[in-house]
Amino acid sequence: MLEGRDIGSVVFPDATLKVYLVATPMVRAQRRVAQHGGDVVEIARAIAERDERDSTRSDSPLRQMPDAVVVDTSDRSVAEVIAEIRALLAERQPQGST
């Protein structure tokens, strides 16, 4: 498993499973404040600006691949998200493989 803003589109475009994790900018900001402190409104603004910048840049813009499964993590725990990703992977793996 790898994580990154362009893992599924640039690094491993033929991956068995691509998961596109999303959450609202405010939820993402609240999570960052819980980890590192700071002003939630300012951090949410910075997150939204980065998303816009990354998705509109000319060199390798951030984009969701058509075959990616979108998982909205806004109202979910880490354990819930992991369980969903594991279930998605189990659906795509041939029986008996690990």
CATH code for the domain in which residue 88 is found: 3.40.50.300
* Total of domains in the chain: 1
Show the tokens assigned to 68: 């990616």
Q: Which residue has the higher pLDDT, 77 or 92?
A: 77
In a domain? residue 97: no
Q: Provide the domain limits for residue 30.
A: 7-92
Q: What is the pLDDT of residue 24?
A: 94
In a domain? residue 47: yes
pTM over 0.75: yes
Separation of alpha carbons 53 and 33, rounded Å: 22
Between the alpha carbon of residue 61 and those of residues 18, 21, 52, the distances in Å are: 17, 17, 10
Q: Which amino acid is at 51?
A: D
